[in-house]
Amino acid sequence: MTAHNFHQTVLREYDVRGIVGDTIAEADAAALGRAIGTTVLRSGGSRVCVGYDGRLSSPGLCDALTEGLLSTGVDVDMIGLGPTPTLYYSVFELDADGGVMITGSHNPPDYNGFKIMLGKKPCFGEAIQALGALARAADYEVGKGTLTEIDIFDRYLERLMRDVDFGQFKVVWDPANGAAGDVITTLVKRLPGEHIVINGEIDGTFPNHHADPTVEANLEQLKEAVAEHGADIGLSFDGDGDRIGAIDREGRVVWGDQMLAIMAGDLLKTLPGASIIADVKASQVLFDRIEELGGNPVMWKTGHSLIKEKMVDLGAPLAGEMSGHIFYKHKFYGHDDAVYAGIRFLNAITVQGGDLHALKSGLPAAVNTPELRFDCDEVRKFEVVNEVKARLLAEGANMSTIDGVRVLTDDGWWLLRASNTQAVLVARCESSTDEGLQRLKGALVDALAQSGVDAPADL
């Protein structure tokens, strides 16, 4: 076996990801397979589940990854095409020793990558770097594993249906031509109420709109369909089905932290005092709401792997991110399954009166920006955040440094952090007044300017 060096940008904090044909290729997939297979075997395991999303490059990357895995002697259960949560579910359902999902998630069509489980836990941080080290040293086990095709689809649908407990809603579902399309199209035929699916065909070119529900422009088709059908709720999904977005009957976006606040209103009736985790981008309204409901709000780092680890540490039954990753350990496995989250969201609405519009309107008002993402070089983005943090520390600013900087002032708060999945900086501001929001924006713009970064036009 020859040594393999991954591009410096692809071994990320909580997954492996790059641009196909530029920073990531099938040779990388094969080397990653050998490194994962070796790690599983040396940990006492023998079997790994593999799945892939609907991107055009995914089947080729899947074949190369599988070849690498099998070459170590590890056995592969091939789950095939579907959303990332199906792969996560299969690791639990089949009691496998790990799993790999080939997916570019919410990124543009030319991106792709790998989400990895070792045992029943996410592989991230130092564990991902360790895979890179194995590849550089060509320190692999050698053997001949067995490939088995597994049809998990029906079992997964049955598992989803087990926790359905909602009323007669009219819902529009938009899988956005992503990998959750077949699951949603089949599932809705079994649900109570009336359900309409748009963009249900899996198409790796994403012909109708970008598959990222955190960007309001990507919800326009959903808004139109909700209005056309007189629906109560619209649900949207990202490219690999682990992130969810929602709108109410008037087309108002129910952001990820607002969805979590509504879900908390249901869960804390059953589990009073429970810890509920949200990432640093979430509104203060959410943390205050959890506390008002008798729960324990916990702010943590952004990133699906990091949140899942924190859930295990605290024994938390529910967690979520502004980006639409929702994690249920209560009745489920603790991973981010957007279709399952959609079911639990509909359950939570039912328990609290059945009107999403009223529930959103009942949340305390806050004046804030959406999540702002703007281009910054892959290496430079971390440097910028560190520079801003150093200046704020020198000034004695009141801030949290759990993930980037979240700066607290009398006006509210502003956030700056580096994305772990894209070459972008992420920012957000929130106040109780328009005037306060403008001052927070000004402080953020100034902080960026001092590091030679132009603020985004929508800031």
In the three-class reduction of DSSP (H, G, I as helix; E, B as strand; rest coil), residue 212 is classed as: coil
> By C-alpha distance, which of 214, 204, 241, 209 is closest to 225?
209
Residue 220, φ and ψ in degrees, nearest 5 = -60, -45
Active site residues: 105
**Whole-number Å distance between alpha carbons of 170 and 266:** 20
**Whole-number Å distance between alpha carbons of 112 and 126:** 21
**Whole-number Å distance between alpha carbons of 210 and 322:** 18
> By C-alpha distance, which of 106, 46, 53, 55 is closest to 77?
46
- Residue 143 CA: distances (Å) to CA of 47, 58, 73, 140, 298: 13, 25, 4, 10, 45
**Whole-number Å distance between alpha carbons of 65 and 68:** 5
Amino acid at 353: G
- Residue 346 CA: distances (Å) to CA of 118, 134, 248, 380, 437: 32, 45, 12, 42, 32
**Residues whose CB is less than 8 angstroms from the CB of residue 27 and which lie 6 or more positions away in sequence, other chains included:** 4, 64
Q: Which pair of structure tokens corresponds to residue 253?
A: 């976006």
